[in-house]
Amino acid sequence: MRDQGAGIRLGRLQGNRLEGQGRAFICWGKERSYLNRDGTPKLQAASWIQFEIAKKLVAKAGLDLDKLLEQAQSKDFQPIELPVRLQARVTSQLRPFVSRNVLAALPSRGLTSQEAVLYTAHYDHLGIDPDMKGHNIYNGAVDNATGCGVLLEVARAWSETPSAPTRAILFAAVTAGEQGLLGSEYLGEHSPVPPGKISLDLNYDSLAPIGDPEEVEVSGAERTTFYSAVEAKAKAFGLTIRPDARPEAAYDSDHFSFARMGIPSFSISEGLKFKTHDAAWGEAQERDYREHRYHQPTDEYVPAMDFEGDAKLAMFGYELGVQAASQPRLVSWLQGDEFEAERTRSQALIRKPPQRSRRVKPLRP
């Protein structure tokens, strides 16, 4: 196949998306999943390229890749087209399939009955590797059966609340989290409650079942008007909020899909310090999981798992949801945050009165 208009463009990376357009050779080693959006502009093909090769490629155009990457950190950066052409033969196959999000709702009462608080966790993992000998099932015990278990228990706690909440409570077990947050992306774009009326999304993803934590991570919460409530609730639970060691964590789980729609969103997980162990031990446990079980068939249940911390964080999220559901105002992003403009836009759409249809007099005989 020859692509007559092939070219490569550099774009500015925003979140986990490359802002820019272009076409290049596709070289995924395994099947990739995408949302089926008819009529939506998309790349004809995409690929990875080794950094040193990319530098040589850009240098042939008289440009410096290191300088371009530095310039790309600016919001004003514009894509730069390279005079590069590619001839390639591509063999691929499309396999359409359906994978469902699973939703539940607890009805509300009062004047804010059309508003909601959302809880999420992705329920998918990586399936089965037919080419792997021996145990080849990717169970995903930590990633993300832990999050799904917490989601179910939070839903149970809400169902046992004596009176109906002021705002509706939505629970969503979303699909295709491991395929690029596709399930949550679809839900964010087709939510049963308009994004401008969802006060908050609390997400659970990959909790460590290794004991009772003294720290909690809430990456992204500090960017919302709800952070003081999070701080107070953490203190009540005997938890210290761990400083954000990985700011990029605000973009790598399903809450990001809702943040893109303007909904204040963050994930809840344990930090590194535990009641019986210091941060160095917690860091070693996290490193061991990342190196030996993360996205591997070995991420499976073992009797030694200690779910006390998961239960604590479930109740922590439940009580945060109670507060978000009952406070007078919807949660917002702080002024100047990258998601604030979308929040403002989504709420303006709600306040905009519907256009009245012009009445047409019926024809008389």
pLDDT of residue 33: 84
Instruction: Give me the amino acid identity at 239.
Output: L
| Strand-strand pairing, 269-270 and 198-203 | unpaired
Do the beta carbons of residue 265 and residue 184 sit within 8 Å?
no
Do the beta carbons of residue 200 and residue 333 sit within 8 Å?
no
pLDDT of residue 28: 53
Handedness of CA 83, 87, 88, 92 (dihedral sign): positive
Query: Which listed CATH number (3.30.1490.100, 1.20.1260.10, 3.40.630.10, 3.30.470.10) goes with 102-351?
Result: 3.40.630.10
pLDDT of residue 94: 80
| Strand-strand pairing, 137-138 and 127-128 | antiparallel
pLDDT of residue 354: 54
Handedness of CA 350, 317, 14, 189 (dihedral sign): negative
pLDDT of residue 334: 98
Domain boundaries of the chain, sorted by first residue? 8-82, 102-351
pLDDT of residue 17: 36
pLDDT of residue 86: 67
pLDDT of residue 352: 65
137: tokens are 């099932």
Residue-by-residue DSSP string for 304-331 = T-B-HHHHHHHHHHHHHHHHHHHSSSPP
The rounded distance, in Å, linking the Cα atoms of 308 and 209 is 7
pLDDT of residue 83: 83
b/e per residue 110-133 (b: at least 16 CB within 10 A) = eebeebbbbbbbbbbbbeeeeeee
Low-confidence ranges of the chain (pLDDT < 50): 1-27, 357-358, 360-365
pLDDT of residue 1: 30
